[in-house]
Amino acid sequence: MLGVKEFISLELWRSSAGELLASAVLTFMLDAVIIATTETITEMQGLILSILVGVTFTIVFLAMAPISGACIDPMVTVSAALIGLISITRALVYTVAQCLGGILGALALKSVIAAEYADAFSLCGCTVTVISPAGVEIGLGVGKAFLMEFICSFVVQFMCLWMAYDFRQIGEYGRVKVFTIVGIVVALVVFVSISVTGAKGYSGAAMNPARCFGSAVVRSGHLWDGHWVFWVGPIFASVAFYLYTKIISREHYQVKPYDHDFFNVIDLIYRGRRTSSHSQPY
């Protein structure tokens, strides 16, 4: 059940190497997209950023699906472990690999961008609040940031990850369609999180603790302030999603055409009343 024997499995370590590289690529690309979008686009910045984030997620997930199952993100890894798709051992190894990948991605970004961008954007790290040039703390606040992280993480899992977990739907729709839907949902959630709050200093829902961890390790400083939010929120959401999967039926709902047609129901009720009245003795 715990999968301890997997520690000596070459397949696990090969898959973990893929998770590490995918996490590094995802961290680098997402952070680079954020900087490029912010610097070059002034109109509909949030919308375009969200679309690019969704496209990036889709491509990376599709690339990794045949190799490791495309967990890539500790949130997805925890959720998959709770549901039972992967063992606890594999989940732990994957999470460590993803965090190391986040660090490598942040280091790669730091090595290629100008120092002023690294300072101005804090390597695109995950922030709840920041100190403005005037010395005033601005942001969303830890409580609201945690709630946003939890809600957005749960929404992503509720709206699309069950499709990715369900082999029947993968078979019916195909891997490309399913992961495209995942990317679209991620884009929608990112757009909502950065638009609805309207709080400067808040980086938006990350839904990826490994990316936040990588930037915090490399950049340090204020990125550690409220860092726990970007771990606890997604993990709590994964637990909530797991509880949801225990409530719903594992069998697909099958509709019987016209069985519950309104007029048919009325007719059955009427016939039942007539039958019962005729069967009463005088």
**pLDDT, tens digit, 9 for 90 and up, residues 52-99:** 999 999 999 888 888 888 888 999 999 999 988 899 999 999 999 999
Rounded Cα distance, 105 and 231, in Å: 18
Residues 6 or more apart whose CB falls under 8 angstroms from that of 212 comprise: 102, 125, 126, 206, 223, 227, 230, 231
- Choice among 93-102, 196-205, 271-280 with the minimum mean pLDDT: 271-280
Rounded Cα distance, 6 and 161, in Å: 25
279 vs 85, higher pLDDT: 85
pTM: 0.84
- What number is the average pLDDT over the span 193-201? 77
Residue 122 has pLDDT above 80, yes or no: no
Rounded Cα distance, 88 and 43, in Å: 45
- pLDDT value at residue 282: 47
For the chain, list the domains and their CATH numbers: 4-246 (1.20.1080.10)
- The per-residue pLDDT of the chain, averaged, comes to 84
Rounded Cα distance, 75 and 95, in Å: 9
Query: Which among 255, 278, 234 has a CA at the least distance from the CA of 74?
Result: 234
- Residue 135's region, left for phi above 0, alpha for psi from -120 to 50, else beta, is left
Share of the chain above pLDDT 90, in %: 39
pLDDT interval class at 253 (50, 70, 90):
low
- What number is the average pLDDT over the span 216-241? 92
Rounded Cα distance, 191 and 50, in Å: 5
- What number is the average pLDDT over the span 249-267? 64
